[in-house]
Structure 1
Amino acid sequence: MFTHTSPSGCTILQLYVDDMIIIGDDYAHIAYTKQHIHRQFAMKDLGFLRYFLGIEVARNRRGILLSRQKYITDILARAELSDTRLAATPVELHLQLRSDDGEPLSDVTRYRALVGGLVYLTTTRPDIAYAVHLVGQFVAAHRTVHYASVLRILRYLRGTLTRSLFLPSTSSLALRAYFDADWASDVTDRKSITGFCVFLGDSLISWHAKKQLVVSRSSTESEYRAMADTTVEIIWLRRLLADLGVASSNPIPLHCDNKSSIHIATNPVFHERTKHIDIDCHITRHQLQARIISLPFVASAARLVDLFIKSLTSQRFATLISKLSLVDPP
């Protein structure tokens, strides 16, 4: 990898690999880069990106659609579902999975292969992130109840085969983030679940659904751990955008629905109730004082991250899907 400067003074990054993708909207410089590489190596121009690593890319003037229709079809074929049933949501309402539920499976490879495929699918399908997080905890020792949950995810995907992640072309380049935590929701070890999503303008570019590493002693503690994880993600994305030439001088809003967490982040005085989350407090507070982030309060009814931390009714699930840049094109 090295860089060189075009005749117009534009510095162009060149990556020499077997499969190379050039990204940008400056077609003059893109053409110059391709010509320069072609003089050095044998190269075939495949045109606009349409298919890459199982991701189907469609574009028009409104933006870009990232679809996984063929990839989902392959997973469904591998599962060999014998019915045609569909599911409105990927997770049954109030579902709680335990390691000793159901009977052990005789075929240990199919479950692992299906869950592995679903994990990769979450890179463009945030609507199944929470469901895949649940079934992924039982890859080492799975049972019939866990496999039934995987089949529900597949039935949901069969009914939403064309659902795509939409990246609008008119979107701004301002980051904003949302986070939440479901306190002590894991019935096995009582750990909480962290969920967050980050938007670049109107484009959803990062999301997360994962069980926290330690047990939180209060809902505020679990919220603050989720806040710290989201803060770290914001810092990384902010630096990445700066490397790409998109610098941000304004604080990045980190929307929070927990007033206690906001109070701890803004209050410099520690006491016995906050000593156990001292490190997470400092991570977030430092970025808050440096004006890297801000902490606007958002009402619970307006939370976008419920999709990543809990099972929902079909109506609530559909409402959140419409706000996460997920569309169902014809």
Structure 2
Amino acid sequence: MVCCLRRSLYGLKQAPRAWFERFASVVTAASFSPSAYDPALFVHTSPRGRTLLLLYVDDMIITRDDSEYIAFVKARLRDQFLMTDLGPLRYFLGIDVSSTSDGFYISQEKYIQDLLARAALGDERTVETPMELNVKLQSTDGDPLPDPMRYRHLVGSLVYLAVTRPDISYLVHILSQFVSAPSTVHYSHLLRVFRYLRGTITHRLFFPRSSSLQLQCYSDATWASDPSDRRSFSAYCVFLGGSLIDWKTKKQTAVSHSSVEAELRDMALLTAEVT
């Protein structure tokens, strides 16, 4: 016997796809178009301005030039879905957002507080840097942890924190390489990151309201810095005017034969991202 469902049910693997298709049909009927760069971003353009709608599962952000059209969109969504309007954006997916006359600040202060509680450091010490200078971790360092699940959980949480904290991006990338078999040495360096976060919990990213639209890109690379495979690391950051909009740390896919080659690979990675 085969049952044909009249609507999607939670728990079925088809449910997310069915929900997104339903939502997309509603906003498309309201003259929105999906972005070519992100299918969860919908754009409406009219002579009165532009309206953007960003969807994450069943949470959404709407921003606009035309406030009247926002009210129209909300009314259309309420007709089709059970929806709660939470007002101006202050908190979204663990990210705090605050608005001033100069611009916007985003941070994850509450998220860091929850992480510190889960890490249970046992002291109140802070450090000025997330990692000691010239430290090169290897898989053979220290003794294996009896229960690696805690290490994996904390490192995974830091991966999401790096969304607003580019200062820990490199170290999170390093620590993520040892999640399969972490050791006591790796765990001690992980705890150092949390002590650094405790002392810098109020650090935020700032996006000024008045800023040029000129792209400024910076890149750097290490040469043969991984002692296990002698591969280099690439890192870059991209500014739109005075706003940091993109950054990344990544191990290069091939072994570079010189520091010049490592830098050229890094520049190629950044150029592809900017393009």
- TM-score range with shorter-chain normalisation? 0.7 to 0.9
Q: Could you tell me the TM-score, scaled by structure 2's length? A: 0.79
> Is the contact between residue 176 and residue 198 of structure 1 (CA under 8 Å) also seen in structure 2?
yes
1:55 to 95, 111, 136: 95
1:172 to 199, 212, 216: 212
Matching residue of 2:224: 184
Instruction: Tell me, yes or no, if structure 1 residue 226 matches structure 2 residue 237.
Output: no
Structure showing greater relative contact order (alpha-carbon pairs closer than 8 Å, 6 or more residues apart): 1
What RMSD, in angstroms, separates the aligned Cα atoms of the two structures? Answer: 2.1
1:119 maps to a residue whose letter is V
- Cα distance in 1 for partners of 2:121, 2:54 equals 42
Instruction: Classify 1:63/1:15 alpha carbon distance in 2 versus 1 (closer, same or farther; 3 Å).
Output: closer
> Is the contact between residue 199 and residue 206 of structure 1 (CA under 8 Å) also seen in structure 2?
yes
Q: How far has the Cα of 1:95 moved from its partner?
A: 0.9
Structure 2's unaligned 5+ residue stretches are 1-23, 32-43
Q: How far has the Cα of 1:56 moved from its partner?
A: 0.8
Task: Name the structure with the higher strand share.
Answer: 2
Matching residue of 1:280: none
Matching residue of 1:65: 105
> Is the contact between residue 51 and residue 64 of structure 2 (CA under 8 Å) also seen in structure 1?
no
Q: How far has the Cα of 1:61 moved from its partner?
A: 0.9
- Cα distance in 2 for partners of 1:14, 1:165 equals 22
Q: How far has the Cα of 1:171 moved from its partner?
A: 1.8
Deviations 1:109-133 (A, max 9, x none): 1100000000110010001011111
Matching residue of 2:119: 79
> Is the contact between residue 6 and residue 29 of structure 1 (CA under 8 Å) also seen in structure 2?
no
Matching residue of 1:268: none
1:45 maps to a residue whose letter is D
Q: How far has the Cα of 1:10 moved from its partner?
A: 5.8
User: How many residues were matched structurally?
Assistant: 235
Instruction: Tell me, yes or no, if structure 1 residue 89 matches structure 2 residue 117.
Output: no
- Cα distance in 1 for partners of 2:264, 2:202 equals 36
Deviations 1:57-101 (A, max 9, x none): 111111111111111111111111111110100011111111101
2:157 maps to a residue whose letter is G
Instruction: Tell me, yes or no, if structure 1 residue 212 matches structure 2 residue 252.
Output: yes
> Is the contact between residue 6 and residue 32 of structure 1 (CA under 8 Å) also seen in structure 2?
no
Equivalent residue runs for 1:12-23 within 5 Å? 18-23=58-63
- Cα distance in 1 for partners of 2:88, 2:52 equals 19
- Cα distance in 2 for partners of 1:70, 1:212 equals 34
Q: How far has the Cα of 1:36 moved from its partner?
A: 3.5
Equivalent residue runs for 1:287-306 within 5 Å? none
1:159 maps to a residue whose letter is G
Instruction: Tell me, yes or no, if structure 1 residue 133 matches structure 2 residue 173.
Output: yes
- Cα distance in 2 for partners of 1:33, 1:72 equals 34
1:29 maps to a residue whose letter is Y
Matching residue of 1:259: none
Task: Name the structure with the higher helix share.
Answer: 1
Equivalent residue runs for 1:144-163 within 5 Å? 144-163=184-203
> Is the contact between residue 206 and residue 243 of structure 2 (CA under 8 Å) also seen in structure 1?
yes
Q: How far has the Cα of 1:7 moved from its partner?
A: 8.4
Q: Could you tell me the TM-score, scaled by structure 1's length? A: 0.67
